[in-house]
Structure 1
Amino acid sequence: MKIDLGDLSAFVAVARAGGFRDAARSLDGSASGLSDAVRRLEARLGVRLLNRTTRSVVPTEAGQSLLDRLGPALDEVDSALDVVNGFRDTPAGTLRLNVPMSVARLVLPSIVPRFLAAYPAIRLEVTAEESFVDVLAAGCDAGIRYEERLEQDMVAVPIGPRVQRMAAAAAPGYLRQRGQPTHPRELLTHSCMRGRFASGAMVEWVFEREGETVKIDPGGPLLVQIGGATDLAVEAAVGGLGIVYLFEDWLRPWLERGELVPVLEDWWPSFSGPYLYYPGRRLLPAPLRAFVDFIR
């Protein structure tokens, strides 16, 4: 059975993106062209691969089985073809990264402009989300995460600051009214801005000093999903609603302006910075190879 490779690639792109429009944007193509390609493939195979509604596009059982086998194979085809890119004077192509919001905000801004200026033929696509994903299944070349969330079969390259801290802070007016805590357990009697990951897990408040670690689960009037709603928690704290717990670098602008002041600063815990990670068993696409060399 002769199947067009372009139609197979179109199906994988649509299935991974969860829709024709998003897939078209990632491929710089048209949604109608992708729709035609998937219809041709379904007609050729004699089976429906995607369930389409006005709200979503989801693989059928047959479609998911095909995607599970076909996706990695097409990725290897792309890697093989990308070997030719190594013979160019300047690497070209698209580099797709999956990163948490904190990295998109705190790490990449100091790297991306210089990298793209150095490699003008490379296009960078960044997806920011908090959950740990299979970068290949998500259609990405590499991800950036913190050490405790890395898979064992990945190559990890340090990127950004090597030491970071979590920080607690509140508005001066709030602390004048409620008092400055002197021990993490006192936060249990304060109003705290809580965060929750997309998985449903709550962000743990951890404090450390002189070998002592204290983990608490405080209460408060506001709960936000980590990522896009994080700044709402910060602004609520600036407005005097309570105490916020976040990356020190994220809170730095408000701390420097005095809109927030440190809470329990001698208890703020340190942790190692993030890593760029990618599967070690693949040939590196030229854009990723250039990015790895650049950050090193």
Structure 2
Amino acid sequence: MQIDLGLLNAVIAVAKAGGFREAARATSSNPSRLSDAVRRAEQQLGVRLFHRTTRTVVLTEAGEILLQRLLPAMSEVESALDAVNGFRKTPAGTLRLNVPVSAARLVLPGIVPAFLARYPDIQLEITAESNVIDIFSAGSDAGIRYDENLEQDMIAVPIGPRRQRYAIAASPSYLDRRGRPEHPRELLRHACLRGKFASGVLPEWVFEKNGEVVKLKPSGPLIVNIGAGVDLAVETAMAGIGIIQLFEEWLRPHFASGALEPILEPWWKDFPGPYLYYPDRRLVPTPLRAFIDFIREYQQYSLK
């Protein structure tokens, strides 16, 4: 029996993602193309691989058995092809990264252009989102996360600034009108612009000074998704509507322009910078290895 490897890859993608839409998102394809590939795989094999309903896509018993045998075999195929790739003068291939929106905005712009200039045969696919997901079931090779979100059995490589801070700011017009807080608890009497994760959780605002930690859940006229809605929150703060908490690096240009004024700076809480992480395995794909070596070089240079 002969079958196109591309069809088998489609089966694996749909099984890992648990659906056609999710698999299309993870593989930069489209649901109808994946559905057609799975249908052709089933025709060539002569068995049904998935139970399909309007809401779920679940492997059949035959599909389960196929996937159990297929995953190690496809991993060996990828390893064999990557071993050959190591003989090229210039690394080539696709590198898929899943990163927080903050990393796409604040960390990667200083790294990606120089990396792609050095390795023109590598295609970099970056998915930026605010919710924490299993990056490998989503089809990514590596991810960027902060300490508290690192998964077990992963290798972590520092990337970007090693210390960061959450800054608090508002427009001068707002502060002239409502007053300048001198203690974090005073924020409970102010209009605050908040962010929420895709899960619906609204994180607390945390402050620290001389060992005193203050955690607040302020209220205000605007709540945005952490990620896509952050720029809207910044614009709203600059318009004088309320107080915003965000990465210091994100707000720094607006401090320099005078559009926003930092407040409560002695209370700004710092935290460790992000890490690139990837599975602890013997053979790292060539594009990922090139990226790891590049960011290690970049980190050494940036610390000088």
Normalised to the residue count of structure 2, the TM-score between the two structures is: 0.87
Q: Does 1:275 align with 2:275?
A: yes
Contact 1:131 1:199 in 2 (8 A): yes
Counterpart secondary structure, 1:218:
coil
From 58, 61, 64, the equivalent of 1:60 is 58
Map 1:1-296; keep pairs closer than 5 Å.
3-14=3-14, 16=17, 18-19=20-21, 22=24, 26=28, 34-43=34-43, 44-47=45-48, 49=50, 51=52, 58-62=56-60, 65=64, 69=68, 70=70, 74-296=74-296
- Distance in 2 (CA, whole Å) between partners of 1:68 and 1:172 is 60
Q: 1:19, CA displacement in angstroms?
A: 3.4
- Distance in 2 (CA, whole Å) between partners of 1:279 and 1:32 is 31
Counterparts in 2 of 1:230 and 1:282: CA distance versus 1, 3 Å: farther
Equivalent residue number for residue 302 of structure 2: none
Counterparts in 2 of 1:242 and 1:73: CA distance versus 1, 3 Å: farther
Q: 1:268, CA displacement in angstroms?
A: 0.5
- Distance in 1 (CA, whole Å) between partners of 2:138 and 2:278 is 13
Q: 1:75, CA displacement in angstroms?
A: 4.3
Counterpart secondary structure, 1:87:
coil
Q: 1:41, CA displacement in angstroms?
A: 1.7
Q: Which whole-Å deviations, capped at 9, do the CAs of 1:54-88 have from their partners, x for residues lacking one?
A: xx8x5234398579745576345323421211111
Question: For the aligned residues, what is the CA RMSD?
Answer: 2.6
Contact 1:24 1:34 in 2 (8 A): no
Moved more, 200-209 or 168-177: 200-209
Counterparts in 2 of 1:159 and 1:215: CA distance versus 1, 3 Å: same
- Distance in 2 (CA, whole Å) between partners of 1:127 and 1:240 is 32
Counterparts in 2 of 1:40 and 1:102: CA distance versus 1, 3 Å: same
User: How many residues matched?
Assistant: 291
Contact 1:76 1:282 in 2 (8 A): no
- Distance in 2 (CA, whole Å) between partners of 1:172 and 1:86 is 56
Equivalent residue number for residue 301 of structure 2: none
- Distance in 1 (CA, whole Å) between partners of 2:260 and 2:206 is 20
> Where do 5+ consecutive residues of structure 2 fail to align?
297-304
Normalised to the residue count of structure 1, the TM-score between the two structures is: 0.89
Q: 1:34, CA displacement in angstroms?
A: 4.4
Letter in 2 for 1:124: L
- Distance in 2 (CA, whole Å) between partners of 1:72 and 1:266 is 53
- Distance in 2 (CA, whole Å) between partners of 1:74 and 1:48 is 17
> Where do 5+ consecutive residues of structure 1 fail to align?
none
Counterparts in 2 of 1:71 and 1:251: CA distance versus 1, 3 Å: farther
Counterpart secondary structure, 2:81:
helix
- Distance in 2 (CA, whole Å) between partners of 1:67 and 1:223 is 46
Counterparts in 2 of 1:169 and 1:66: CA distance versus 1, 3 Å: farther
Q: 1:10, CA displacement in angstroms?
A: 1.9
